[in-house]
Amino acid sequence: MITSNIIAGCMNLGKWGVGMSTQEYLSHIKCCLDNEITTFDHADIYGHYTTEAEFGDALKYDKSIRPKIQLITKCGICLVTPNRPLHRIKYYNTSKTHILASVDQSLDNLSTDYLDLLLIHRPDPLMDPEEIAEAFHILKQSGKVLHFGVSNFSVSQVSLLKENFNIEVNQFEASILNTKSFYDGTTDYCIKTGIKAQAWSPLAAGKLQVAEDDERSRRILAMSSILGEKYNASFDQILLSWLMKHPANIIPVLGTTKIERLKAAKDAIKINLTREEWHMLLRAAIGHDVP
């Protein structure tokens, strides 16, 4: 599964964020492409099931875009919303019927014949690995989905599915504020099996700026500003380079809606922090030396 080095997250582009018009989607997509960001991360539920279709309107408007991009989407979460009047509670559905129906809906929304990557959005306690594999086989054979993965799965959950189907990606939360995956085996398992690691909220969903008066955020901001001076880089670039230094080759799924932040992200790839600098940021995050 080939993606760009930075993936553009689409969660905040529509009704859950800035509410882009079709023309704004088009200029956002074009700006990504100009900056070598060719992969776009969706989920059926974004914008209460509306963002995929808004993005799809942009693809319909300019048909030259689809062959230049890779589309990721997810399924498996059922939200309570007027757009899904039959849902009485929020729940997970990883049944074969649901996966197949969800993909058909996403293809229609995104105005495309195929998805580059489909992820099961969250581990479902009721999931049956053989049933999921059966759905994936059908989707692969029909050409509707090229690659398959999971999101927020533990090592045992991924390995269970992997016994039945070639799982190529795990997308999980990782940032300077959330390093759980470095210690619970998630990134180790990616390295061991060649599963591609994708990190959502790589800039901690903007929480560091919001919590500038919080002690931990202040320490991280101060250390990134010292390193930023050395590398002539912004705070965002330093934190992205920190994540990308990890040997699991983590690909950030960036959630920004701002063109200047997308442009800056591309250059973060060029920064190569030393091991000592990497640990200086870790130390700022945990508040003490490593043991």
Ligand X SMILES: NC(=O)c1ccc[n+]([C@@H]2O[C@H](COP(=O)([O-])OP(=O)(O)OC[C@H]3O[C@@H](n4cnc5c(N)ncnc54)[C@H](OP(=O)(O)O)[C@@H]3O)[C@@H](O)[C@H]2O)c1
Which is nearer to ligand X, 80 or 138 (by Cβ)?
Answer: 80
137 vs 245, which CB is nearer to ligand X?
245
Annotation marks residue 46 as catalytic: yes
Q: What are phi and psi of 251, to 5 degrees?
A: -100, 120
CA distance 123 to 158: 9
Which regions of 45-106 does DSSP assign to beta strands (E)?
Answer: 70-75, 77-78, 91-92
To ligand X, the closest distance from the beta carbon of 109 in angstroms equals 15
**Residue number closest to ligand X, CB atom:** 255
Binding site for ligand X (CB under 6 A): 9-12, 41, 121, 151-152, 171, 200-206, 209, 235-236, 253-258, 261
- Of 46, 114, 183, 189, the active-site residue reads 46
Q: In Å, what is the CA distance from 89 to each residue of 75, 86, 108, 119, 128?
A: 16, 9, 25, 22, 21
Rank residues 96 and 122 by Cβ distance to ligand X and give the closer one: 122
Cβ-based nearer residue to ligand X, 21 or 274: 21
Report the phi/psi class of residue 220: left, alpha or beta, with left for phi > 0 and alpha for psi in -120 to 50: alpha
Helix (H) or strand (E) holding 98: helix 96-109
Annotated catalytic residues are 46
